[in-house]
Amino acid sequence: MAEIMVNGARLAYDDAGDGTPVVLLHAGIADRRMWRAQVDALASRHRVIALDLRGYGESELPPAPFAHHDDVVGLLDALGVERAALVGCSFGGAVAIDTALAHLDRVTALALLGTAVSGNEWSAEADDLWDILIGDLDDDDLPANAAAEVRFWVVGPGRRPEDVDPDLLAFAQEMNLRALAAEQALSAVDAADLDPPAIGRLAELRMPVLVTAGAADVPDISRLADRIAAEAPRAIRLPDVPDAAHLLPLERPTPVTAALLDFLP
């Protein structure tokens, strides 16, 4: 692990390999460890930087206003990297998109895996699925909320927990418990959103964009992938990854890593 000061916060990251730079941005239910299967493989061709976003994992959360997308570019500045490809999963994908829109000249390509998009509103179907699978929870019960989110996102609505590798579920639970604590702390800090948000600006993504999702994920995620592919001018929509849900780089590393190696400049 390495640490570096970025916009007044000490951020934790891993840095491996040489070649064209690639920054890996984790899901909101995880931290940079979710990329453990990709770092070494990508480092054979690229300089791979796996970041813990501010407040997550081993990164700090000073009580000062910030924006995640500005932190990504601040990291590039601090490391002397002029331009990089961004790979993001879920919330990390949303941060990657926001970074590309806010700093178009710094991003060479986007790979978006089960991505969220800032400004997107979840469908009534997604809300209903949560009510059916999870129901009401005590917001202060972090272990129960972590388990619920793992059930919803990592297992997915169409699978049962026993259908998924128990080691994956245990690791996801541990990461998400830390992530939920981070999100509680983040709620007390002024985090700036991209304005206007990305959902209405996908046509501005002029760089190459790769997008896919897990076939077992919540249906809204696959629909978002379709929308990005339809609106971003240079987007490539790969088929959804079979038998994978929201943490598809961790659950199905072989096809994801192969797709990234084929796509990244």
Q: Summarize pLDDT for 139-163 with one digit per residue, the tens.
A: 788 999 999 999 999 999 999 999 9
167 with 257, same domain: the answer is no
Claim to verify: residue 199 and residue 129 sit in the same structural domain: no
Q: Which letter does DSSP use for residue 60 in this model?
A: -
The confidence score (pLDDT) of residue 132 equals 83
Mean pLDDT of the residues in the chain: 96
Are 113 and 224 within one domain? yes
Give the whole-number percent of the chain exceeding pLDDT 90: 91
Residues 178 and 73 in one domain: no
Say whether both 160 and 224 belong to one domain. no
Q: For the segment 26-50, what is each residue's pLDDT rounded down to a tens digit?
A: 999 999 999 999 999 999 999 999 9
* Percentage of the residues of the chain whose pLDDT score is greater than 70: 100
Residue 138 — pLDDT band, cuts 50, 70, 90?
A: confident
CATH at 42: 3.40.50.1820
Residues 67 and 100 in one domain: yes
Q: To which residue do tokens 């990234």 refer?
A: 260
Query: 171 and 96 share a domain?
Result: no
Choosing from 159, 185, 211, the residue where a domain stops is: 185
Q: To 5 degrees, how large is the angle CA 207–CA 210–CA 215?
A: 155
The pTM score is 0.97
**pLDDT greater than 90 at residue 195:** yes
Whether residue 166 is found in the same domain as residue 234: no
* Enclosing H/E stretch for 144: helix 142-149
- Give the whole-angstrom CA distance, residue 226 versus residue 211: 8
Mean per-residue pLDDT, 93-98: 98
Tokens of 57: 């994992």
Number of domains in the chain: 2
Q: Do residues 87 and 113 lie in contact, with contact meaning Cβ atoms separated by under 8 Å?
A: yes
pLDDT band for 134, please (50, 70, 90 cuts). Answer: confident
Residues 58, 148, single domain; the answer is no
Residues 111 and 140 in one domain: no
Query: Which residue range is the domain that position 80 belongs to?
Result: 2-121+191-263
Same domain flag for 104 and 233 = yes
Alpha carbons 171 and 251: distance in angstroms, whole number: 11
Asked if residue 213 has pLDDT above 90, the reply is yes
